[in-house]
Structure 1
Amino acid sequence: MPVLFSALVPPDDVVGAVAAALDEPDGRLRWEPPQRWHVTLAYYGPDDVETRGEWLARRLAGRPAPDVRLEKAATFPGVLWLTVAGSELAPLARAAGADAEARPYVPHLTLARFPREQPALATRWTGKLAGFTSRHWQATEVVLMTSEREPGGPRYRVARTFELDRA
């Protein structure tokens, strides 16, 4: 059974703006490649794609497409990420099932990982990206993703797409 999660995928020009802001990534961090960049709404773990897709379709029906923007960098232990701003993001994440998770929902886009015991490795990047702001975009779809472990890191595939209501 595949590991599943729901997410928003930034548009290509926003991905390009983030990549340009990173310029030359530091080799001491394990950088996520741009093709894996996403904003997780909810994590489901091992689950049946069809069953979860039907459940998610019911939960997302009629939901408005949120306006989203990526902003400054921050860290969790061992993770460098960009903040995600959008007023309708939390309700959308709750509808997608984020409220079932033990930890509070913090919308973010993971950029890189580093050893938890070496938080200073990310300091350069939180400073460099402190003023970063992408353009706003309307996230008009949610994707249900599968995650498969591979030698170079996880491989994400879109299993299903759910359209949101455009304003």
Structure 2
Amino acid sequence: MPVLFSALLPPDDVVEAIAEAVGEPGGGLRWEPPERWHVTLAYYGPDDLETRTAWLERRLAGRAAVGVRLEKAATFPGVLWLTVAGTELTPLAHAAGADAESRPYAAHLTLARFPREDPGRAARWTQKLAGFTSRCWQATEVALMTSEREPGGPRYRVARVFELDGA
């Protein structure tokens, strides 16, 4: 069974703006490559693709497109990420299943990982990206993604796209 999650994929120009703001990645962090950047709505783990597709079709039917803007960097233990401005995304994430997770939903885009025991490693990057703000874009679709383990890190693939109203 594939590992599944739902996500919003930033448009190319937003990915380029993030990459430009980051500049030369380094500093002892393990950086996610731009092709893996996404805003997770919900994580499902190993799941049946057809069953999850049908479930999401019902849950996302009639949902409106949402405005998304990425802003300053922050950290979770071991993770450097960009915040998502506003709260429009939370109802969509809950419809996609985020409310079933044990932790509260925090919309973000993961940039890099670092050892949990060394939070100072990300301090330079939170300072460097403190003033970052992407343009606001309309997220008009939700992607159901598969994640496969590969030697260089996970490989994400779009398995299905669900259009949001206003697309």
The question of a shared fold, defined as TM-score above 0.5 by the shorter chain, is answered with: yes
Tell me the equivalent position of 1:95: 95
Give the 3-state SS of the residue equivalent to 2:160 in structure 1: strand
Query: How much is the aligned-residue C-alpha RMSD, in angstroms?
Result: 0.9
Q: Which range moved further: 11-20 or 78-87?
A: 78-87
- How many residues get paired? 167
TM-score between both structures, scaled by the size of structure 1: 0.98
Deviations 1:33-77 (A, max 9, x none): 000000000000000111100100110000000000000000000
Q: Is 1:104 the counterpart of 2:104 in the alignment? A: yes
Residues 43-58 of structure 1: matches in 2 within 5 Å?
Answer: 43-58=43-58
Q: Is the 8 A contact 2:27 2:121 kept in 1?
A: no
Q: Is the 8 A contact 1:66 1:86 kept in 2?
A: no
Query: What percentage of aligned pairs have identical amino acids?
Result: 81
Tell me the equivalent position of 2:38: 38
Q: What are the ranges of 5 or more consecutive residues in structure 1 without an aligned counterpart?
A: none
TM-score between both structures, scaled by the size of structure 2: 0.98
Amino acid at match of 1:129: L
Distance (whole Å) between structure 2 residues aligned to residue 9 and residue 60 of structure 1: 16
Distance (whole Å) between structure 2 residues aligned to residue 138 and residue 65 of structure 1: 6
Amino acid at match of 2:111: L
Q: Is the 8 A contact 1:74 1:81 kept in 2?
A: yes
Tell me the equivalent position of 1:162: 162
Per the TM alignment, residue 127 of structure 1 is displaced from its structure 2 partner at its CA by: 0.2
Per the TM alignment, residue 86 of structure 1 is displaced from its structure 2 partner at its CA by: 3.7
Per the TM alignment, residue 150 of structure 1 is displaced from its structure 2 partner at its CA by: 0.5
Q: Is the 8 A contact 1:67 1:87 kept in 2?
A: no
